[in-house]
Amino acid sequence: MSAIAPDPSRLEKTCGPFQRALQNYLRALQEAWEGQDVEQRGQEAHQNYWHVLHDAQMAAQKGFLEAYQNCTKVVQEASGSEDFAKRVNEAYEVYMRTMHQSQVETQKCFSDAHQNWIRTSQEIWRNEDFQKRAREAYQQYLRDLREAWAETDINTIEPPLLAAISQNMIVVAWTAFAIEQWWGQCWGK
């Protein structure tokens, strides 16, 4: 059984309009995406998130160290005194309160940073202009597809050509589905 090799000139004439429709669709999506500075905004949100986490962790470590040093200092100064146990207990209580407070503040900082990152990410993905431009690109693709079929002599479409055309259509369909459904569901739209 020999493989069917379509004539290259007929391939371009038949598949060319379909291929251009796909290229125009993908180009329109790329322009919509780039126009939103999505990548830059995403990187900035991510960097800000990690900077806040790092700063909070460093502040917590500094607080822990200071609390430990203060407690140790009190224990050393109280050594041999009559009220040693009382002073050590008080120092330990201060140490534990400071540690707890530092933990609570760090946890709040982490939570706030995470919520900020989520909010910024949602704003990026929910961008109405991108969604609108993506829908417009899809509608234009369908118009281009209709024109491509109108220009095509169906008697020249062999199974491999139809397979190539259908692959283009599948790419567009799944891309449009992902934009309209998946992103919207993931980000609560």
Query: Which tens digits make up the pLDDT trace of 71-80?
Result: 889 888 888 8
- Is the torsion defined by CA of 55, 56, 59, 60 positive or negative? negative
Work out the pLDDT band at 123, boundaries 50, 70, 90. Answer: confident
**3-state SS string over 65-78?**
HHHHHHHHHHHHHH
Give the pLDDT confidence of 162-176 residue by residue, as tens digits: 888 888 899 999 988
Comparing 43 with 39, the larger pLDDT belongs to: 43
What the block records as the tokens of 69 is 């040093």
Let me know if 19 is exposed, middle or buried by CB neighbors in 10 A (0-12, 13-18, 19+). Answer: middle
Task: Concatenate the DSSP letters of all residues of 97-146 into one string.
Answer: HHHHHHHHHHHHHHHHHHHHHHHHHHHHHT-HHHHHHHHHHHHHHHHHHH
pTM of the predicted structure, to 2 decimals: 0.54
Give the pLDDT confidence of 133-172 residue by residue, as tens digits: 889 999 999 999 999 999 988 888 888 888 888 888 999 9
Model confidence at 8: pLDDT above 80? no
pLDDT of residue 140: 97
Over the chain, what is the mean pLDDT?
82
Task: Concatenate the DSSP letters of all residues of 34-100 into one string.
Answer: HTTTHHHHHHHHHHHHHHHHHHHHHHHHHHHHHHHHHHHHHHHHHTT-TTHHHHHHHHHHHHHHHHH
